[in-house]
Amino acid sequence: MLLGFVAVLFAVIYRIGPGGSKSGLKPSSAELRIEKAIPAGARIISSSLNGDQLALTLDAGGATRVVILNINTGKVLRNITLGVTP
């Protein structure tokens, strides 16, 4: 059920996101290191690449989070914490 919710969330983010180019990665031989994108102790559940955006689904101490990164610039675009409805 959680996986379905995450899939729907990604679809919504994709549809409301900027209509810019989805051309993908810029060619580069340099390694990119993105600091502070993943909290200490968090576990990556899944990842998804769409053009130059990388979405990481994390288990951070029992909370599910989605971090969206621009892998060309190294910037964190969005941090989303998924709550549970009782």
| pLDDT above 90: residue 16 | no
Residue at 53 is within a domain: yes
Output the pLDDT for position 25: 59
- Asked if 18 and 63 touch (Cβ cutoff 8 Å), the reply is no
pLDDT tens sequence across 34-56: 888 888 899 999 999 988 899 99
Helix (H) or strand (E) holding 77: strand 75-82
Residue 80: band (very low, low, confident or very high) from pLDDT cuts 50, 70, 90: very high
pTM: 0.64
CA-to-CA dists, residue 26 to 19, 62, 68, 82, angstroms: 18, 35, 18, 31
Name the residue range of residue 48's domain.
38-86
Q: Give 26: exposed, middle or buried? Use CB within 10 Å, 0-12, 13-18, 19+.
A: exposed
What is the total count of domains within the chain?
1
| pLDDT above 70: residue 68 | yes
